[in-house]
Amino acid sequence: MKKKFVLYGVLLVIVAAAGCKSQQIRPAAQVDQTPVHMSSYIPFKKGLFVRDAVRKECDLGGKLATHINNYARQYHVNMMKGGKAKTSARVLKVEIINVHGSGGGAWSGAKSVAIEGKLLENGKVIGTFRGQRSSGGGAFGGFKGTCSILGRTVKALGSDVGLWLQHPVMGASIGEGG
């Protein structure tokens, strides 16, 4: 009986692993090491309605910038946060274009954040993307607040942007649409 449960467990792991989308990370030697400059805060699109509580308490722009920076470095992209970029440098510009984050944590439904961005080199756009992530809070979502759930979405978007920076292309769809 015990062997049967172990066998089912192994099969479940194999099936789960086969169903996961594999994201390939290139070794550092294959990634262009030109520094990418980025603001330390990702702004909201002008005129975007975002609940005051979310705007003031969740720090989505600061968290997103931190996650992009951390994941890009993990994927061997040379990031430079803040400061003035030289005209010959690469500059990543990202903005939050939509936030769905009603109060009430997981009890009020899924939360989502959408972003768009562009990578410039010598002032010329060399890559663009749009992306969105949503979350219901994951395990124990009912015990998480709105900011915590939105934090999960910007963390995932940070990883998506970090991966995109390895191969920046025009018109990319990242996140749930990628």
As a whole number, mean pLDDT of residues 146-168 equals 94
pTM over 0.95: no
Lowest mean pLDDT among 18-27, 113-122, 167-176: 18-27
Per-residue pLDDT, 48: 92
User: What's the mean pLDDT in 19-37?
Assistant: 56
Instruction: Give the pLDDT of residue 24.
Output: 44
CATH number at residue 112: 3.30.160
Query: How many residues does this entry show for the chain?
Result: 178
Q: Is 19 contained in some domain?
A: no
Q: Which domain holds residue 119?
A: 32-175
Q: Is the pLDDT of residue 167 over 60?
A: yes
Contact indicator for 108, 135 with CB cutoff of 8 Å = no
The pLDDT value recorded for residue 139 is 53
**Letter string b/e over residues 28-39, b meaning 16 or more CB atoms within 10 A of that residue's CB:** eeebeeeebbbb
pLDDT band for 110, please (50, 70, 90 cuts). Answer: confident
Of residues 152 and 21, which shows the higher confidence score? 152
> Is 138 a member of any domain?
yes
Residue 23 lies in a domain: no
Tell me the residue type at 169.
V
Q: Is residue 1 assigned to a domain?
A: no
91: closest CA among 81, 104, 103, 100? 81
The pLDDT score that the predictor gives to residue 79 is 87
pLDDT confidence of residue 33: 73
Please indicate, yes or no, if residue 17 is contained in any of the structural domains: no
Range from 1-15, 44-58, 117-131 carrying the lowest mean pLDDT: 1-15
Between 164 and 101, where is the model more confident? 164
The structural domain count of the chain equals 1
What pLDDT score was predicted for residue 41?
93
